[in-house]
Structure 1
Amino acid sequence: MNRRTALFSTMMLGGLIGRAARGQDRRSSGFRPAQEMVDEPGLDPDLLGIGTDPLAPEIGRRGGSDPAEDLPFTPPSQIKQQGLGWGIFNIAPYTALPHSRDTAKPETALIEWVFRHTGSDIWHGEDLAVLSATSKQLRAFHREEVIAKVNEVYKRFVDAWFDVLTLRVRIVAAVDPRWRLDVFSRLEPVRLGTQGRGGPQAQQAWLVEPSTTEQLMATMSLSQAFRLVEERKEPIVNGQTLSLRTGLKDPITYRGGLDRSNTVQIGFEPTVDAIEEGVELRASPLLRDDGTSVDLAVDLRATVVKRKHLTRVIVPRQIGPAEMDLDVPEVAHSRLNQTIPKWPLDKTLLISAGILPGIFMNKGGPLNLGFGGPSQTELLVVLDLQSNLESARRRRDRR
């Protein structure tokens, strides 16, 4: 038998033998699609979350959204042993709210808050886990106790007392940290998380009565040692994120490296790099069940260039001196990134980002970056939340 005859016989044989005989039936591998497992006699459909859900009526399903269609191949014994199941949540009422133009996908906020509430590790461990969201549904596949936590977050979005909150942000640069002198006893400290190797945060936070806040801000406005850098009052849908950035109009430039210029063949020339100096704030408040307080996810970053240190380097050049001047920027940076729980709506949240020498102030010296500028400048962020009564009326009318 020549090679051509053998090849033709093999092709004919492959077309006549069934798929099961060739070892391509998925049932022979031990893994079953979820829909096939549901049809298997003796297997409880509720094990896959298909059927009456214990979390109803908060959980709703829509036509054509059978979760079994999205379940990867998994042995039934593994599902039974781990107690895995589906939770399907109707979030269409929330995504239909009047979100800002910058919010392209409001459903993303639910995913972020589920991670904050449950931790992200359990979604990337040994258990089979699914967490996804569309504009109409939040879908989760996990153990029963994890689905219950997802349900808690879901209700805080869809059943909130207010749909819209108003966040007032004031950013203050204080040259003198002694503003604490006569108000410190009236500040209620907020416990922040740890930093680095278990040490305390360099930042501080307090809850303040609104009357004390206004007294403090009035005192600051009369002193040249304080500067109100930014004040903004923005509506924000419950659970979404307000982003704010303020800083110098132009970045701080410095000569940070060398580049060989091939156009004029004169050797290396200094490159001009830049550092953006300023404050970036991301704040996401999520109402708690009682409607009187929120959990605030805050990400506060502040960067300031204290000065530029001059140094000299030797480089090969065909034209000009062999020594060139470069700058080494001295930068101070502060970041607070965590969730502050149970912030009452009737109190101000005051955050100190720590000492950032000369931030938003005249640093003095040549090019406004030399010696002699303020060395104790403290960055303060003052936050106030107000409920939107109109959104509360809309919520009450829907019920």
Structure 2
Amino acid sequence: MHRHSTYPRSARLFPRQRILAAALIVTGILASTAPSDALGQAMAFPGGPAADTPPSLQNLPAKRTGQAPNSQGKLGSGGSLPRTAGQEHRVYDLRPYTGYLTKHDHPEQAVIDWVLRETGTDVWFTAPFGFLNADREKLSIYHTSEMHQVVSGIVDRFVAGEKEPQVMNLKVMTVGNANWRSRAHMLMQHVSVDSPGVQAWLLSKENAALVMNILRQRSDTRQVQDLNLTMFNGQTEKLASTRGRNYVRNIRPAAAGWPPYEPETGEVQEGYKLSISPLLSTDNRAIDCVIKAEIDQVDKFNHVDLELPLPNNQIHKTRIDVPQVVSWRLHERFRWPSDMVLLLSCGVVASPERTKSAIPLFNMDALTGSTSGRADALMFVEFRGRASENLTSIPMAPASPSQPRIGQAGGANRGRY
């Protein structure tokens, strides 16, 4: 007996059509119950979110409606800047200065550095509200009228000052005994310095030549550097002379060989690093200069004897070294008449240059592990005017492989202020 369906022939569904109809029904149910973005995600990624979605987009927190995240800040009324102290927005044209420095990357950075040195950094991060921004063509300042007077004075020294390269002569000398002052005292004018242990004097160029002659007559005087630095007004130049000294810092087990220990060596850098940034007044009669110097020297290596066990119940005797480093730092800003010479004494500190014995057999440092070298480090800084008016050659300062040469830009975090 044949059983007939109660559906008409036009309404009968084949198996494949039944599956498609069921899928459409389920889709309709999901569309009516699930959020639209979840449905869109399910339709876009049939294999599920974990199948094709990047890990950073998986398991995102639910969006909060009607409340802005705190990290986005609060929008000010009308987008206007606060004027609680009568702040003004002024734009300073830097093209008369930066237009000459075609080979310098970000020459406007020197303007920013000197503005911050003059004003300090706190005034830009505390009340009243203000900001500072610069590019190669302009400097934008938003602050009080008193602050604009300070900023305009610095900007004028760049845009209305010297555009040609200038020459700064730098001499670094060491004297074994500080009694050189007894003969030179009356030739020098003392200047106060904030850095502990540092002394400064101003000398006329004639008196500077006399003091130099006094020092060169001494047997314990050694000239470390004598350089003419060609610099653009306000820019920073660097020089360095460092070298590494190796030592045994640890004893570790060896993979093979006898004894089953091997030394682990380390290296400590010694020498000096120096950076100088001069800024002339608009009439070239005065000069501001920021000098930063670092001297590191290995005074000696302290030896430590070790006794290590061996598999045959014996003792292996060895030695490690602990470096004793003497360091000295200077970071000062000076202002003096450009026709005078600035003399700095770092005090009796680690000598920036280690003397080496002419005869290696008598080099006692190799036997004792110590470094002879306490000296009064002196630095003569002299402004010599335009480079075109100086006929002297301009030597390059020595640079270690890990340090930039003169004129090469340093890292982002330079610690200038």
Please report the TM-score for the alignment, with normalisation by the length of structure 1: 0.71
Q: Is the 8 A contact 2:94 2:159 kept in 1?
A: yes
The one-letter code of the counterpart of 1:382 is F
Q: Which amino acid aligns with 1:367?
A: A
Q: What residue identity is the alignment partner of 2:365?
A: P
The residue type equivalent to 1:336 in the other structure is L
Contact residue 88 and residue 140 of structure 1 kept, 8 A? yes
In the alignment, what sits opposite 1:270?
263
Supply the distance in 1 between the matched residues of 2:309 and 2:216 (Cα, whole angstroms).
55
- Deviation track 1:244-274 (CA, whole Å, cap 9, x = no partner) reads 1134xx4222222344545769755332222
Aligned to 1:326: 320
RMSD: 3.3
- What secondary structure does 1:114 align onto? helix
Which residue pairs with 2:386 in the alignment?
388
Aligned counterpart, 1:4: 31
State how far apart, in whole Å, the 2-side matches of 1:131 and 1:317 are: 67
The alignment partner of 2:167 has SS state of strand
2:366 corresponds to 1:367 = yes
Q: What's the secondary structure of 1:79's corresponding residue?
A: coil
SS across alignment from 2:118: helix
Matches within 5 A, 1:77-92: 79-92=82-95
Residues 227-258 of structure 1: per-residue CA shift (max 9 Å, x gap): 111111021111011211134xx422222234
Map 1:138-287 → 2, pairs under 5 A: 138-161=139-162, 163-194=164-195, 201-247=196-242, 250-262=243-255, 268-287=261-280
Q: What are the ranges of 5 or more consecutive residues in structure 2 without an aligned counterpart?
A: 1-27, 39-64, 357-362, 390-417
Tell me how far 1:220 sits from its aligned partner: 2.8
* Partner SS for 2:197: coil
Deviations, residues 159-203 of structure 1 (Å, cap 9, x unaligned): 115643210111112112111121112211121125xxxxxx111
Q: Which residue of 1 aligns with 2:41?
A: none
Q: Which amino acid aligns with 2:324?
A: E
Q: Does residue 347 in structure 1 map to residue 340 in structure 2?
A: yes
Q: Is the 8 A contact 1:301 1:336 kept in 2?
A: yes
Q: 1:63 maps to which residue?
A: none
Going from structure 1 to structure 2, the CA distance change for 1:386 and 1:314 (only over 3 Å counts) comes to same
One-letter identity of the residue aligned with 1:388: R
Q: Which amino acid aligns with 2:337?
A: P
Provide the residue aligned with 1:293 in structure 2: 286
**Per the alignment, do residues 126 and 6 of structure 1 end up closer, same or farther by CA in structure 2, a change over 3 Å counting?**
farther
Aligned partner of 1:51 in structure 2 is: none
Residue 356 (structure 1) shift? 2.4
Q: Note the alpha carbon deviations across 1:65-115, whole angstroms, 9 max, x for none.
A: xxxxxxxxx5x4x7132433322111112112247x6x4221111111111
Gap change, CA 1:373 and 1:206, over 3 Å in 2: same
User: Quick one: distance in 2 between partners of 1:262 and 1:140?
Assistant: 64
Contact 1:310–1:327, Cα closer than 8 Å, also in 2: yes
* AA at the equivalent of 1:164: P
Listed one character per residue, the Cα deviations across residues 300-339 of structure 1 (whole Å, up to 9, x for unaligned) are 1111212212112345666984443111222211111021
SS at 2:234 equivalent: coil
Aligned to 1:43: none
The answer to whether the 8 Å contact 1:253/1:272 transfers is yes
How far did 1:297 drift?
Answer: 0.7
SS in structure 2 at match of 1:169: strand
Percent identity of paired positions between Structure 1 and Structure 2: 22
Question: Which letter does structure 2 place at the counterpart of 1:172?
Answer: M
Bigger radius of gyration among the two: 2
- In 2, Cα distance between equivalents of 1:355 and 1:257: 33
**8 A Cα contact 1:162 1:387, kept in partner:** no
Distance 2:269 2:146 in 1: 45
SS of residue matched to 1:87: strand
SS at match of 2:126: coil
- How many residues in Structure 1 have an aligned counterpart in Structure 2? 327
Q: Could you tell me how far apart the structure 1 residues matched to 2:369 and 2:315 are?
A: 26
Corresponding residue to 1:305 among 295, 298, 313: 298
Asked whether the 8 Å contact 1:311–1:328 carries over to 2, the reply is yes
* CA–CA separation in structure 1 for the residues paired with 2:237 and 2:37: 66
Native 8 Å contact 2:272 2:295 kept in 1: yes
> Is 2:343–2:378's contact at 8 Å kept on the other side of the alignment?
yes
Normalized against structure 2, the TM-score is what?
Answer: 0.69
| 1:54-73 correspondence to structure 2 within 5 Å | none
Shift of 1:290: 4.0
Instruction: In structure 1, give the amino acid aligned to 2:111.
Output: L
For the 8 Å contact 2:296–2:350, the answer to whether it is kept is no
Q: State the Cα distance separating 1:384 from its structure 2 match.
A: 0.6
Hey, what does 1:62 align to over in structure 2? none
Aligned letter for 1:349? L
